Structure 1
Amino acid sequence: MHDKSVYHSKAVTEGHNLIKIYENPEIDVRNTLDQERQRQILENKLRLKPIIESVIFLGRQHIPFRGHRDQGSLVVSEGSSEDEDSLVNNKGNFRELIKFRIESGDVVLKKHLENT
């Protein structure tokens, strides 16, 4: 009689759901329901990855982040000219490393910096 009761069958169903969630913690209900949120999370991770990798690289090599000039755009649009002495001035190791990554073809990082 207990097995046929409504509250027992409901408890069994909820128990099975709890086990599924426990075995697959990466499946978040919010992410399952909201695909746009999940896409945004992945995009943000891709944007941050080259920046974090650059920070880790400088730290492991014991290279200071700053230089004499730490301002200005990292992305130079076509048709615009940089300062004549920009090839001589060190704009900071971090900024130069990010600029190098962009010039080397990191499209995600370039797009991120152009839009911020």
Structure 2
Amino acid sequence: MKKLYQNIRLITLLTLLVLCSNKIFADDVALDAAIIDVAPVLLEELDQTRGLGGIVDVDVTNNANLAAELTDNKVSDSVTGYNIIDQGSFHDASGVFSIIQNTGNNVIIQDSTIITITITPE
């Protein structure tokens, strides 16, 4: 995904470079479109191809109930550490990930991730 993003970014930059170097203006583009006889796409058609296009009714409810109890804990002569997130800690990280850090004692850590994916047939 990172490579795809880099390629899209490179193509965008090259396109901007070409446009700037040739000093193409909107009038020129409109004239070129008329020459090659291409009709513009209607906004209604674009609405159907955008994200969530064609989905009429979506009702999503997410709920994560996390409960914990910490009682009667004792710590003696405890040494805590450091949490260090340095440059490059997440190099090449992709997808969904969670970072939980704790330097204390007698701590409850609760983590919850909800991912909602909507797929609708055409």
Q: Same fold (TM over 0.5)?
A: no
Q: Name which one, 1 or 2, has greater alpha-carbon Rg.
A: 2
Structure with the largest fraction of helix: 1
TM-score normalized by the length of structure 1: 0.22
